[in-house]
Structure 1
Amino acid sequence: MKSPYLWGFSNAYSRGKFITDGVFSPDAVSQQCGGMTLLSALMEDEPEVAARLGFVPPEEPDDVARPTPHVPGDGSAADFPADPPRFPGKYLLPGSRDKASVRKVQERLAQMGASPGAPSGAFDTPTHFAIQLFQSRSADLEGVPLEIDGIVGPKTWGALFGPLAIDSEWVKPSFRVRKRELDLASAVIEIAQGEIDVREVPPGSNRGPQVEAYLRSVGLKGGSPWCMAFVHWCFAGAAAALKVPNRVPGTGHVRTAWRQAGRIAAGVRVVAARDAARDPSLVTPGMVFFLGLDGDTGHAGIVTDNVNGVLSTIEGNTNDGGSREGIGVFRRVGRKVADPKTLGFAAFG
């Protein structure tokens, strides 16, 4: 949820707050005006005060193109630049080194009434806050309110600059993290693809010839949950084919595998959930996703594609709905990098 200390009295916040030290109530409603709400009012009603805080309103407010909640169906939003720049293909966030793209964002924010000051190309604190201000009153090209995170991904870029005209077609900003060829990740994906449609025999039993082969790879017998065993089995086959080590922990317990992955020093790249949510491009095909579910349970699978932070995956012990207690190996589309249940991601090689 959005902090009421920032977003109280705005449409970005509805309820939920700490009512005393360490005690959170999801139903309590803050009676304090949030800092970003105040800043928005200052930008419009007290430009001199806003300027002293480092937020400079546009010089010609009558000509400012204000953020709009949606784009006309034909994509011809009058407020968008006639020749919009391309999305740089990576998320812009504090510390980004792409000065040219950051400067474009800063200049566009000024035109949209949320100036962070003189365009410097540095993704500094005023820029971060100005993006949040813009996001709090804007929507993406589908008309869905933007996530207020102060990060410029393809959706925020599209809200700022609009779609790109290519061969007379309006193309929305996007990014895709592509897998490298002839590496362990590619081999794992190829093996996992060959297992799609494997089913338990009988359904709901955690048994069957191939399911029990997955379980044997981590020393378990039929009848045990097998999503993590499926992951281990795929990596074991790919590692053997490429004659490289299989670094996936040899356990069928998802949370144990996640903890052990974080302790492997060589050949493993671990991305924590918070870092992935800030920059979804860190999640690449061939990585393993780890979810923490009720109690000590979890679910894991193999990422095959990442488009705008929405994942395509191959998962064992699941179904079309993504359950951890499904009946087979399925290809799924729709898990999000920023899922609140996510423990993190790991690349094992």
Structure 2
Amino acid sequence: MRFTDDLKKEYIMLYKTCQIRPERIEEIDGYIDRIVEKKDKYKAVESATKVPWYFVAGIHLLESTLNFNTHLHNGDPLTNRTIHVPAGRPLPPKNPPFTWIESAIDALTYQGLTTWHDWSVEGLCFKFEEYNGWGYRMYHPQVKFPYLWSFSNHYTKGKYASDGHFDPNLVSQQCGAMVLLKRMEQRGLVQIGLIDDPLLKVTWLELYRKEGGGNGAVSAVLAAWGGNELIQASEIADRSVEELIALCGKYPNASTFHIAPPNKTVPALTTPIIPLIVPSTTPMTLTRILRWGDKGDDVKAVQCALNRFNCNAGAEDGEFEDQTQAAVKAFQFKAGLLVDGEVGPLTAEKLGFKVTVIVPPDQPLHLKLAAFAGQEAAKQLRWNGASSEAERLYLAPLRPIMIKLGHIGKEIVFYNWCAAFVTYCCRQVGIHIPDQPEGFWASMALVASWQYWAKQQGYWHSKGTTKPMRGDIVTFDWPGSNNGQFDHIGIVRGYTQGSSVFETAEGNANKQSGNFSNRYLSSISGIIRIR
């Protein structure tokens, strides 16, 4: 089914004219109270998938009646893989029993929802209907889809009693997803269609020629507009086509590209506009990643800092809720950081905090890996001999196996250590990485060893079969290189759907560790997804 303009208009009109049946309000409020009580679980899924928490809650109500002991895919028990369609989820190497959050992340990924970015009223309707199937619209268009509209004026009767069997007199006893959200909006719990990621507000792009003044230098500026509002303006100093493509890819909702006329004023650059600030005389030390639902003095300190930057965190009450999350996203955007609504080490440092090593204890391993790798890479350690910190942490642990295999001698000399950096980060968060894959000729210091090992474990995804996700490990094949398809390896810190670039943490990039924000999808030779 195509997401056409006519379909969008239909959804908007249905939501606008939706009236909840008064006799059902008490029942709906009961569901909402249960959802709000467990909002932290839905927000955890949102954090991992970028799917709005209230959409997840709507699916959970309709597929599982808010039961946290069953799969979000279809209501099957979490004690085993799913039996009904889609069967066999989550896939190996994960084994049952599963947590509800693990299952929910898998269900949304399976449905392709992690790559969807239109969470407007019409976008929500489209994805709810797609999740349950198009049978009503295709074969019984006289019935407004109960999965969306049951308990409202739009639905009276008509329901599939089972797969393929439609009963025109059967009445749905479930609350429709959009009716649920309508009531949540009436109660002030959500704002449907609110876009808190500024990059998603961009609808068109404009390219300017910028004269460099007396020295005759010329550069380009890409302006990103949301209607008449300038959202972002970025300079392309070397006028690189690759950089232009990468910048355009940051704005998945931009549908129009213009070349500005020569006499049009070039807009002032907007990114980043928040520099590193001079911290107070007694800056607070951040010892954990802060996210929605957290409470404490560290949250209060973050709220205070956000308000100093006019990011409107609201009351400085030490409770990390929706307004604080929106303020964090606004700050991250202004600071040129990855917009994820969490206060990790990079965001904290921009806010003026001291940061200790933070590994979130309650998150899946791949998210722990992304968090730890980002902090480790930010140290920008450089190998400069046997006494260097990079040698002690990254290179030394793999020297014994390399000596045993005859690949290096006992003298401590430089070797390419990007894979050693990844090995170190994985081991630090509890991911078992062998010194040498069973049956392979080389150690894990060789990038090709990672492909061999990942295939053994069922973690390997070949080039072009999937997009990178936070916590993935990626191998690179640099353009123009004659070294085969495994030139380099790093850990994914973030990726915006629709973009042509992604963010990484790497070792041995120009012989030091670092975080990078402009790695091209086209350079990926494979993805290792440890789940």
Higher relative contact order structure (alpha carbons within 8 Å, sequence separation ≥ 6): 1
Task: Answer with 1 or 2: which has the greater Rg.
Answer: 2
Decide: shared fold, TM above 0.5: no
TM-score range, shorter chain: 0.3 to 0.5
* TM-score for the superposition, normalised by structure 1: 0.43
